[in-house]
C-alpha cells in the first residue's frame, strides 16, 4: 500500500565499516560526479559495489534490449521442472519483512536485536496482531537500508512475531521451503513493486499517486490522463551513477534523490510477462482483490485497452477456476486489502485467507503439478537486518518473507539463495521456456534450488483457520 510519508531523516554516526561498503563507493566517485546536472537525454546486474568502487553495468534494467538469460540450473533440473510443474501461482501479500515474520525461525537468517539510527541497539519486541502502518515509500526504503547499515527504521518497527502468533505461516515454512534471502525488487512502495512482478521494471516510476496528483478522487492509472506519479527522469550514465551513489548515502542522500524526480502519467507501454505468455499460447490470469493500490496491469496501456484485460478478474474467480478445471498455467493472485496482512489489518485474518486458498489448492486435482510462491510485496517499514544487494537505481529493497509450496518443494528446507520478485518471473520463464524481459530477470536466480523432483511428492498440508483477536 502507499506510504503516507516521503520523509528525510537526519544523518547519523556511520555504522560499522563492513556494513558501509556502498558508502565507500560514494567516497571514491562522488568528486567526479558532483557536477552532474539532470537533463532530458535519453546483461547482468552486479551485486553490491565492491570496495574497489565497482558500479553495476546496468543501472536501468529496461535499457537492456533482448537480454540473454544468465547461468541457471542444470539442464537436468530444468527438464525435471518442465516435466512436473504445469501451474505456477504467484501469490503476493503485503508489507512485512523476513525478520518481522521469521526472525526466530530455527535455522533461518534471523535476528533478535536491531540497530537504530542513533546507533543504539534494541531487542526486537513481540509484534501484535494489528501493527501500525509505518512509512514504506521508495525514500523510506533508502533511509531504512542506509547504505547497508540497516539502522534507520521507524522506532516502533523493531518487532517480530513468535510461532504462536502466526502458527500456520510457520507450519508452511517447516514443511516446505522458506527462502531467507528473498528481497523486494525495489525500495517500495506496493504499486511499483507489483508492476515489477509483471514487468521486471517500472519504466522509471518510483511512487504511487499522492494527494494532488489524482485527476479524479481515486487512482485510475491509464483511465485518467490527468493523473501523475513520481518517476526518475531520463538520465545519462553519469546522472544514473550520481543517483546510485546518493542512494548509498541513506538519509543523507534521499533529499537529492527525491529532488531529481519528475511527475508523469503512470500509464506505460512496457513489455510484461503476459505478453510472452500470450505469444506462446500459455494461459494466464491476474486474480486481483479489492485494493486500489494493487492494479499493475491497469498501468500498462496495451493491456488495459485490449482483450488482454479480460484476464484481469476478481480474486473470487480464482477458486471458481480452480474447482471448475480452468486454472491457467500462470496465476497472479492478490487478496483484498482487508486480507492482505497490510497493517493496520489483522495478520491473523490475513493468514486465515492464505490458509483457505492453500487448503483448496492442495485439495484440488491441480496440487500434483502446481508450485505456489507466497511472498509479501514490500517491507512495510518493518525492521530487517540483512543488507540488500544494490543492483541498480531501484534496489533491491529489504528482505520479504517467501514460501515455496509444492509437492515437489524440498521438505523442511531453508533456501539461502539470493532471490527477488524477478526470480519468480525467471522461474516462470524457465518452466515455460520463455525469454527474459530485462536485465533483472535475465540474471537472477531461477528458484529451482527449492525443488527436489526425485523425492516422493509431498502430501497436502491441510491447516485449520484460527479464531482471531477482536478488533480493538
| Residues in the chain, total | 472
Which grid coordinates are listed for 453? 523432483
Q: How far apart are CA 380 and CA 160, in angstroms?
A: 13
Mean pLDDT for back-to-back runs of 10 residues, the chain (472 residues): 33 35 38 32 35 78 88 96 98 98 98 95 98 96 97 97 98 98 96 97 93 84 94 97 97 96 96 98 97 95 98 98 98 97 98 98 98 97 98 97 98 98 98 97 97 98 97 86
Backbone angles phi, psi at 33, to 5 degrees: -110, -5
Measure Cα distances from 24 to 1, 54, 196, 237, 419 in Å: 33, 10, 29, 20, 25
Q: Please, which residues have CB within 8 angstroms of residue 87's CB and are 6 or more apart in sequence? A: 327, 328, 329, 330, 331, 366, 369, 370, 371
**Rounded to two decimals, what is the model's pTM?**
0.89
Beta strands in 407-452 (DSSP E): 413-415, 419-420
CB 450 within 8 A of CB 182: no
The DSSP element (H or E) to which 33 belongs, if any, is: helix 21-33
Which grid coordinates are listed for 322? 480452480
How confident is the model over 48-92, as pLDDT tens digits?
443 335 899 999 999 987 888 989 999 999 999 999 999 999 999
Q: Exposure of 37 by Cβ count < 10 A (0-12 exposed, 13-18 middle, 19+ buried)? A: exposed
pLDDT of residue 45: 33
Give the three-state DSSP class for 242: helix
Amino acid at each position: 500500500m502507499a506510504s503516507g510519508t516521503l520523509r528525510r531523516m537526519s544523518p547519523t554516526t556511520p555504522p560499522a565499516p563492513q556494513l558501509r561498503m556502498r558508502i565507500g563507493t560514494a567516497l571514491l566517485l562522488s568528486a567526479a560526479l558532483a557536477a552532474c546536472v539532470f537533463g532530458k537525454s535519453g546483461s547482468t546486474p552486479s551485486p553490491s559495489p565492491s570496495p574497489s568502487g565497482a558500479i553495476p553495468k546496468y543501472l536501468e534494467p529496461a535499457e537492456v534490449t533482448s537480454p540473454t538469460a544468465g547461468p541457471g540450473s542444470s539442464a537436468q533440473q530444468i527438464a525435471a521442472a518442465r516435466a512436473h510443474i504445469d501451474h505456477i501461482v504467484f501469490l503476493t501479500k503485503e508489507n512485512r519483512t523476513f525478520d518481522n515474520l521469521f526472525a526466530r525461525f530455527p535455522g533461518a537468517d534471523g535476528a533478535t536485536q536491531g540497530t537504530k539510527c542513533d546507533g543504539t541497539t534494541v531487542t526486537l519486541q513481540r509484534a501484535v496482531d494489528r501493527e501500525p502502518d509505518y512509512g514504506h515509500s521508495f525514500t523510506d526504503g533508502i533511509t531504512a537500508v542506509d547504505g547497508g547499515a540497516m539502522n534507520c527504521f521507524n522506532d516502533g518497527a523493531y518487532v517480530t512475531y513468535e510461532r504462536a502468533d502466526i502458527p500456520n505461516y510457520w507450519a508452511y515454512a517447516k514443511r516446505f521451503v522458506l527462502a531467507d534471502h528473498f528481497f523486494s525488487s525495489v525500495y517500495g512502495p506496493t504499486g511499483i513493486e507489483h508492476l515489477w512482478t509483471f514487468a521486471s521494471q517500472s519504466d522509471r516510476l518510483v511512487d504511487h499517486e499522492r494527494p494532488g496528483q489524482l485527476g479524479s478522487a481515486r487512482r485510475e492509472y491509464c483511465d485518467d490522463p490527468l493523473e501523475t506519479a513520481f518517476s526518475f527522469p531520463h538520465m545519462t550514465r553519469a546522472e544514473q551513477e550520481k543517483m546510485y551513489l546518493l542512494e548509498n548515502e541513506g538519509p543523507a542522500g534521499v533529499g537529492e534523490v527525491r529532488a531529481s524526480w519528475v511527475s508523469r502519467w503512470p500509464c506505460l507501454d512496457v513489455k510484461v510477462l503476459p505478453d510472452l505468455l500470450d505469444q506462446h499460447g500459455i494461459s494466464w490470469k491476474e486474480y486481483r482483490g479489492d485494493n486500489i493500490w494493487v492494479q499493475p496491469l491497469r498501468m500498462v496501456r496495451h493491456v488495459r485497452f485490449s482483450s488482454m484485460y479480460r484476464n484481469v478478474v476478481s480474486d473470487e474467480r480464482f477458486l471458481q477456476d480452480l474447482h471448475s478445471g480452468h486454472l491457467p498455467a500462470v496465476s497472479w493472485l492478490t487478496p483484498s486489502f482487508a486480507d492482505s496482512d497490510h497493517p493496520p489489518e489483522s495478520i491473523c485474518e490475513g493468514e486465515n485467507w492464505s490458509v483457505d486458498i492453500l487448503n483448496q489448492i492442495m485439495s484440488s486435482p491441480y496440487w500434483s503439478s502446481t508450485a505456489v510462491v507466497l511472498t509479501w510485496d514490500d517491507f512495510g517499514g518493518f525492521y530487517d537486518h540483512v543488507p540488500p544487494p544494490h543492483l541498480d537505481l531501484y534496489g533491491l529493497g529489504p528482505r520479504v518473507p517467501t514460501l515455496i509450496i509444492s509437492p515437489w518443494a524440498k521438505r523442511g528446507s531453508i533456501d539461502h539463495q539470493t532471490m527477488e520478485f524477478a526470480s519468480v518471473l525467471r522461474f516462470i520463464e524457465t518452466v515455460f521456456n520463455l525469454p527474459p524481459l530485462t536485465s533483472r530477470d535475465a540474471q537472477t536466480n531461477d528458484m529451482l534450488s527449492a525443488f527436489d523432483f526425485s523425492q516422493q511428492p509431498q502430501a497436502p498440508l491441510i491447516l485449520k483457520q484460527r479464531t482471531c483477536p477482536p478488533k480493538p
